[in-house]
Every structure is written in structure tokens, then in C-alpha cells.
Amino acid sequence: MSQKVIMTLFFLFATLISLPSALRAEQPVTVNLDPASINISAFYNGTDVIVTGEAPADAELLIRLSGTRHDVTLKKKGKVGGLLWMNVGEVTFENVPSVYLLYTSKGLGEVAMSRESNRWDSMGLGFEAIKQEMKVTPAANDKEVVFKEFMKLKKHEELYKLTPDAVRFAATNGPMKPYTATIHVPPKLKAGDYQVDVLAISSDSIVAGPSQQLKLSQTGFPAFLSSMAFGRSLVYGVMSVVIAVFAGLGTSMVFRSKGGAH
């Protein structure tokens, strides 16, 4: 080994030794998903995923399940003539995630739920961050008002949700502490790839953020229908008509047997 290489290695070693102990002790968060892949069958009704790993001993944790961003168009209702509630137009929310589920440890959850502090949203982690990044069209709509209605819908569908005190810690092991959390995958999620982020937050800063992919795949009859719909649209259309006809005939026969049709 040349003298130049030896001197370079010695310099790097001396630099590492001189680093502050807190910086050298900091280690990245680890994350594991069980399971990391979910099959959507005919009887699928959502499931749970266990998230485990280790985080810095002085950090609070946020676990985020998010989907790809897309545009959502909804009907806008209003009073016509001051009497009847009717559809009065459409509102499009651009660049919004398909799912946005947040799970926090106890300390961070208290900050997240506090209305007196904007620290949560200033980090770009809360629902307010979604509002800041999305675009509403037509622009004449009151963004604040329509976003509240959008959030009501997404929370009702269980696609947007904040669950505080969901991340639990075990006894600290040196500079790290084990954690575990159970995140619920709602039944409305479609097949596709989703992202699970684990963010360690300490002293108002994000100190780590590994990610894992959660894959949802159709299997069995749902997979068959999906392949028919996209691969053989004509056959799928004919099947749909035939099924509808037989369903109608079956209903008619039931009512006739009960004397409900003549």
C-alpha cells in the first residue's frame, strides 16, 4: 500500500474521531413490514400491517402510509332558489394522494393534535401540507371551504386519518429504542404500490426517514374481472349484460313465487 493511500486513510480516521459524539452516535431508523405484500381476494375487507424497527432513543416517530398523487373531481352541491340542494357544478382537486394515513408516537401525537402549534404542518407532515400542495379548479372556489368538505369525504372513506399514540416503544437499548405499530390498510385501497415512511423527529427536525414499499395485488375472481375489463373489454361487456339479464330474471322469479308480480 502506498504512503499516499495510508496518509489518506489516517486522515479519514482522524476526522471520524474528531466528530461530536452525538453525531457519531446517531443511527438511521430501521423499518420492517409484516406483511409487505397483500392479496386482494373476493372476500378482502382490509387488513393490518405490523411495522417494527429501531429509532434514536431521543426521537418521536411518525409512520405515514401514502399513495400516488392524482386528481379527484367531485360534484359540488348548493341550494337552488334557496330551497333545493342540487349539483351546481364540479370541483377538481389536483395533486392529492390517494391515501394519507398518519400514525404517531405519544409525544408527537400530542403536538400533532394541538391547534395552538403549527409545528406539525410547518414540517410538511400534516393534512395542512396537502392543502398547500394541491390546486383547486375552478379557481373561483373558496379553497378553505372545499378542502374541509374534501377532508370530510376522505375521512369517511377511511383514506385520510391521523391516529395518535399508535407507535409504541420498548426499553431503550443504548442510543436506539425498538418500536412497533399496527397500521390498518382500508378496504377501499386499490391494487398498486404504496409507500410506508417512518420519520424520526427530534428537536423540531426530521433526523431520519427510511421508506418501504407496500404492494397490493388482486388475486382470484377480482384479478380475473380486472384482466377481462382491460384485456378483453368486448367479452367483459357481453358478460356484464348476460349477468344483468340473469340477475333480473332471478329477481322476477322470486317476486312471482311470492305473489308479488302478475
pLDDT at 258: 54
pLDDT at 77: 73
Q: The cell 383547486 sits on which residue?
A: 136
pLDDT band at 22 (very low <50, low <70, confident <90, very high): very low
Percent of the chain with pLDDT over 70: 62
Please indicate whether residue 125 or residue 174 has the higher confidence score (pLDDT): 174
> So where are the chain's domains?
27-218, 232-257
Continuous segment of H or E residues that includes residue 20: none
pTM over 0.75, yes/no: no
3-state secondary structure of 225: helix
* Beta bridge partner(s), residue 105: 167
> Which one-letter amino acid corresponds to residue 118?
N
Please indicate whether residue 87 or residue 233 has the higher confidence score (pLDDT): 87
Question: Contact at 8 Å (CB) between 96 and 72?
Answer: yes
Question: Contact at 8 Å (CB) between 157 and 67?
Answer: no
User: CB-based burial of residue 189 (10 Å sphere; 0-12 exposed, 13-18 middle, 19+ buried)?
Assistant: buried
3-state secondary structure of 210: coil
pLDDT band at 201 (very low <50, low <70, confident <90, very high): confident
31 pLDDT higher than 70: yes
pLDDT band at 24 (very low <50, low <70, confident <90, very high): very low
Mean pLDDT value across residues 247-253: 58
Which residues neighbour 219 within 8 Å (Cβ) at sequence distance 6 or greater?
39, 40, 41
Q: How far apart are CA 150 and CA 169, in angstroms?
A: 34
Widest Cα–Cα separation across the chain: 103
pLDDT band at 247 (very low <50, low <70, confident <90, very high): low
Q: Which tens digits make up the pLDDT trace of 51-88?
A: 999 999 989 999 999 999 999 999 887 666 656 666 66
pLDDT band at 210 (very low <50, low <70, confident <90, very high): confident
pLDDT band at 233 (very low <50, low <70, confident <90, very high): low
Q: The cell 413490514 sits on which residue?
A: 33
